[in-house]
Structure 1
Amino acid sequence: MLLKFRVANFRSLRDEQTLAFVPPPDEPSAMTRELGLSDGKSLPVFPVLGIFGANASGKSNVLDALADMREAVLTSYASWTAHERIPREPFLLDRKHAAESTFYEADFVLSGTGVRWTYGFELGDRRVESEWLHAYPKGRRQVWFDRDAARDREFDFPGGRLRDRARLADTTRPDALLLTRAANDNHPQLTPVFQWFQQNLRDVAPATEHHQREAYTAERLLERHDRERIEELLRVADLGIREAKVERKPGERPRVELLHSGDSGEAVAIDWAHESFGTRSWFALIGPILLALDDGAVLLIDELDASLHPKMAAEVVRLFQAPSVNVNGAQLVFTSHDASLLSLPRGGRLLDPGQIWLTEKAEDGSTELYPVADVEPGVEEDLTDSYLAGAFGGVPRLPPGKLGRSLRMTEEIQHATGADNS
């Protein structure tokens, strides 16, 4: 499970920002689940975090930073040689930060071992400036390797825990990550850490890879057990769907046909191209959701409320919150504009203050990321009302009617200017 993610100098995330799944010790929550560690202790960990904020405040950048870290780990050894510079996206609104390194760090626990790991690196334009890997098998930090490009001896391996140290140091290029290089040779100690990034971070964006996600859900329909689960998720979504059929011809993608309930009770098939975008969006999301739940992975969904009714978005959250459904410790991180996800219709909270994170953009264009728990809302406070009222920040600074007034004023100025010119 993912415990913490830190990033700096990535797009609008200029200064170091932290996204934490572990609440502070003095802020217990009924929404957490206990994660057993290798030292016999346990940690309370949130299965769901939601990121809210105004348009262009940097919500998507938080998820993109996690996805970018994963991409760097997976591809730095093989792909970066094709680039003149290391591919990265620093904060560009001032020259100082544009020239500084980009920082990533993830704190996580490997499934099945209970060992907590911390892995991070800093990227410059032409080299990996630093890289580090720490383990906590008995609760105390073990430094497995520490890399600093500014030192005469770039790589340090304290304690001699790592095998093939000399070869790794000699064959890791300045513009590649040591972790990627090691996994390329199936290094027995480092490959499991590499595989955590490979298998446990799945990202879903509303406008990208939609057809691929539809095809993936269709592939899962071919399995009987998965078909039953997918059909149930389609039925409970109140889309009028009774059954899902799938057919695959050799060399072609699976062809899906959804059967809807007709007026007289008979099943009516609708051509896939004529299904609503909302139906297709929910279908495309089911596959990644099941994958994350089955594998205990971290699912990143940008704009969870895009093309989904608020009740459906809330149900996705509940899937990950419910221990009876989420038996493998999967986690969900999503962005949304839908403030109704902060509270339940009849009172109570879908998410605790520690699960609700806000992004706010300063005048200089940089993003600040913080949990609502830092604002210390009252126990009975309606989080939706307070959020929309601006009590927590993270909402547009836009007085009611300002857009219309600004547009009318612009038109009046244009009309007056036109009259003067005539």
Structure 2
Amino acid sequence: MLLKFTVGNFKSIHEKVSVSFIGESLKQYPENLAEGPNGKKILKALAFYGPNASGKSNVVKALEFMRNFVLDSNRLYQPGQLIDIDPFRLSTLSKNAPSFFEIEFSVNSQTFRYGFEVDRESVRKEWLFFVMKTTEESYFERIEENIDLNNRFREGWNKKDFFRNNSLFLSTVAQLNGQISKGIYDWFSNLTIISDSNYLRFQNYTADLYRNKKIKGYLKRLFKTAGFDVDDFEVSEMDVSNQQLSILNDEIQRIIKLQVPNQLKVLTKHYVYDSSGLMVDAVSFDLREESSGTQKFFAIAGPIVNSLMNGFPLVIDELDARLHPILTSFLVKLFCSEENSSEGQLLFVNHLTNLMNQGILRRDQIVLVSKERRSGTRLKTLHEQGVRSDASFEKDYLSGEYGALPQTLMNQLNIFSNIEKD
């Protein structure tokens, strides 16, 4: 369960900003809350709104960087290799300063606060705290390559010689089978982040889930409930060696096939009916022949079902891209409903303002994203803005009352009138 994420000095984000799933004391829509650790009420969904280039996607990218660095820093970064980090560049104070990442989350009924500071050359700081109801206990704190270990984190003992200055201590201990750190590592691996540029990569993931008899039923029901005109799917393995590797020799083909997961071919099945309405046949189409909306929904359907079944956080940038507004609304309602009983969470970036006034989202679930020249990206919920529960969220937002809108100059549309001709 994701409780809070904080990032600073990353891309368009200069000063620290936080994304919090901890619900406020509001009376509206109690079904939108899940039972969290230490008696906290946790939001099942958060929506990001704001103009283009405000930094919505950069918050998602920051969470993705943290996830990938936890999972890969110990494996990918060799001694002396520079870290691929992009700090805020529009200030002399930040361009050479470390970037800050911290996350609070619950795993295996325990709550942790974990974070690190990193620049191009190394991990400057790293820390892990065990969070109780009113206090915290340090498991370890790192400054450069010096680590202060608590007795409760004994799995970190005798591991100080195994990590590098450009890798995380937590990841190193997890790779060496530390129980606590492995649980945290697995939590990050179950955090799924989807963008509009990479969603097609998840088609193979959904197709693989579809081969599981139990999950197949959930996926078919999701498609039917969402209103897609697809009667079934057929999933089969593609022979990578024959289709893509035929120009290579047998030994190279063998090595690549061991390292590359099986690619799955997906066909959509449609029934054929006669003039009296009786089903007489079925026709199959390659998924690539279907609409881009169908392809996207198939790709994200697997991660959606996985999140709802297992309580894993799911982040989708540009959720509304290629999907009908009613379908986008359906997915948000699904996460906020009592159907979501496993504590699945959805963080999504969206431009469909009609969601604001559909009685789906609470004021603490609508996050307005704006950008200021000096402080960079800023986040503030409608609740933090002091918006009343009976306000017309969409109307007031589009009128500019809340900010976080594109600043177009509608009264200066003479774009071409003063252009000098050669």
Shorter-chain TM-score range:
0.7 to 0.9
Instruction: Tell me the equivalent position of 1:197.
Output: 188
Q: For 1:241, what is the secondary structure of its paired residue? A: coil
TM-score normalized with structure 1 length? 0.87
The Cα shift of 1:89 comes to 1.1
TM-score normalized with structure 2 length? 0.87
Judge conservation of contact 2:97–2:119 (CA < 8 Å) in 1.
yes
Judge conservation of contact 1:358–1:370 (CA < 8 Å) in 2.
yes
Judged with a 3 Å threshold, the aligned counterparts in structure 2 of structure 1 residues 327 and 23 are, in CA distance, closer, same or farther, namely: closer
Instruction: Tell me the equivalent position of 2:167.
Output: 176
Judge conservation of contact 1:34–1:42 (CA < 8 Å) in 2.
no
Instruction: Tell me the equivalent position of 2:233.
Output: 244
Residue identity in the other structure for 2:120: D
Instruction: Name the CA distance, whole Å, in 1 between partners of 2:43 and 2:333.
Output: 13
In structure 1, runs of 5+ residues without a counterpart are none
Are 2:332 and 1:332 equivalent residues in the alignment? no
The Cα shift of 1:372 comes to 1.2
Alignment of 1:21-420 (within 5 A): 21-24=21-24, 26-27=25-26, 29=28, 30-37=30-37, 41-81=38-78, 84-111=81-108, 114-137=109-132, 139-149=134-144, 154-158=146-150, 160-199=151-190, 201-210=191-200, 212-248=201-237, 253-260=263-270, 264=275, 265=277, 266=279, 267-323=282-338, 325-344=339-358, 349-364=359-374, 366-400=376-410, 402=412, 405-407=413-415, 411-414=416-419, 417-418=420-421
Judge conservation of contact 1:7–1:104 (CA < 8 Å) in 2.
yes
The Cα shift of 1:34 comes to 4.2
Once the two structures are superposed, what CA deviation does each residue of 1:190-243 show, in whole Å capped at 9, x if it has no partner? 2212221122x1011112151x31222222222222222222222233332223
Judge conservation of contact 1:80–1:87 (CA < 8 Å) in 2.
no
Judge conservation of contact 1:32–1:44 (CA < 8 Å) in 2.
no
In structure 2, runs of 5+ residues without a counterpart are 241-261
Judged with a 3 Å threshold, the aligned counterparts in structure 2 of structure 1 residues 71 and 406 are, in CA distance, closer, same or farther, namely: farther
The Cα shift of 1:75 comes to 1.1
Judged with a 3 Å threshold, the aligned counterparts in structure 2 of structure 1 residues 209 and 381 are, in CA distance, closer, same or farther, namely: closer
Instruction: Name the CA distance, whole Å, in 2 between partners of 1:97 and 1:249.
Output: 48
Moved more, 201-210 or 101-110: 201-210
Aligned residues: 395
Instruction: Name the CA distance, whole Å, in 1 between partners of 2:227 and 2:207.
Output: 20
Once the two structures are superposed, what CA deviation does each residue of 1:298-344 show, in whole Å capped at 9, x if it has no partner? 10100010000111111111121122x22211100000111011121
Q: For 1:168, what is the secondary structure of its paired residue? A: coil
Judge conservation of contact 1:31–1:46 (CA < 8 Å) in 2.
no
Instruction: Name the CA distance, whole Å, in 2 between partners of 1:248 and 1:119.
Output: 40
Residue identity in the other structure for 1:122: E
**Percentage identity across aligned positions?**
29
The Cα shift of 1:399 comes to 4.2
Judge conservation of contact 1:31–1:352 (CA < 8 Å) in 2.
no
Judged with a 3 Å threshold, the aligned counterparts in structure 2 of structure 1 residues 126 and 351 are, in CA distance, closer, same or farther, namely: same
Instruction: Name the CA distance, whole Å, in 2 between partners of 1:283 and 1:34.
Output: 27
Q: CA RMSD in A?
A: 2.2
Judge conservation of contact 1:240–1:261 (CA < 8 Å) in 2.
no
Instruction: Name the CA distance, whole Å, in 2 between partners of 1:380 and 1:319.
Output: 24
Q: For 1:129, what is the secondary structure of its paired residue? A: strand
Judge conservation of contact 2:236–2:265 (CA < 8 Å) in 1.
yes
Instruction: Name the CA distance, whole Å, in 1 between partners of 2:207 and 2:230.
Output: 15
Instruction: Name the CA distance, whole Å, in 1 between partners of 2:209 and 2:297.
Output: 15
Judge conservation of contact 2:199–2:296 (CA < 8 Å) in 1.
no
Once the two structures are superposed, what CA deviation does each residue of 1:104-145 show, in whole Å capped at 9, x if it has no partner? 00011113xx22110011002212111111102464211111
Judge conservation of contact 2:363–2:389 (CA < 8 Å) in 1.
no
